[in-house]
């Protein structure tokens, strides 16, 4: 399955993440699950920048409704991964996020995740707060 980035996507974050020796598996390349961790790290950086500190992880949080990754090439240690995160226009309680993992301007993976905003107290989906929604549009 290939993810096409929507025309209305908005690049919201670029992050450089060092590859750790422990990210590799017995095959000598970065384990497939770690690609999801790189996307997660970018997503959490995006959320922390998006949501006011007084509200983030106290009143408002996020969970993943669906996530996927298309593996293009094997990442290897040593190196750094350049992760870009783009978003599509928000829905009621969720927003689609899209990722590209690059090294030396070469695409190694791309992926997507549906991010659902939740109340930290009830652990249930909430409508994206207006202040956050305005930043996403």
Per-residue pLDDT averaged across 39-48, rounded?
A: 95
**Predicted pLDDT of residue 10:** 77
Per-residue pLDDT averaged across 60-80, rounded?
A: 96
Element (H, E) at 7: none
Does residue 4 lie within any of the structural domains? no
Per-residue pLDDT averaged across 38-65, rounded?
A: 93
- CATH of residue 72's domain is 3.10.129.10
Domains of the chain: total: 1
Strand partners, 21: none
Tokens 């094997």 correspond to: 74
**Predicted pLDDT of residue 64:** 97
How much is the mean pLDDT over the chain? 92
Does residue 105 lie within any of the structural domains? yes
**Predicted pLDDT of residue 118:** 97
Does residue 5 lie within any of the structural domains? no
Does residue 125 lie within any of the structural domains? yes
Does residue 83 lie within any of the structural domains? yes
Confidence of residue 102 (pLDDT cuts 50, 70, 90): very high
Q: Which domain holds residue 34?
A: 10-136
Token pair for 78? 């040593």
Confidence of residue 5 (pLDDT cuts 50, 70, 90): very low
Does residue 1 lie within any of the structural domains? no
Does residue 88 lie within any of the structural domains? yes
**Predicted pLDDT of residue 56:** 87
Does residue 2 lie within any of the structural domains? no
């Amino acid at each position: 399955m290939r993810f096409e980035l929507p025309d209305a996507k908005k690049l919201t974050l670029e992050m450089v993440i060092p590859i750790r020796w422990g990210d590799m598996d017995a095959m000598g390349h970065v384990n497939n699950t770690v690609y999801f961790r790189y996307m997660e790290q970018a997503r959490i950086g995006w959320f922390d920048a998006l949501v006011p500190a007084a509200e983030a992880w106290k009143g408002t949080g996020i969970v993943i409704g669906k996530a996927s990754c298309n593996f293009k090439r094997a990442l290897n240690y040593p190196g750094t991964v350049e992760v870009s995160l783009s978003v599509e226009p928000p829905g009621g309680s969720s927003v689609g996020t899209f990722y590209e993992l690059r090294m030396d301007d070469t695409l190694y993976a791309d992926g997507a995740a549906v991010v659902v905003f939740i109340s930290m107290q009830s652990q249930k989906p909430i409508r994206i707060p207006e202040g956050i929604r305005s930043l996403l549009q």
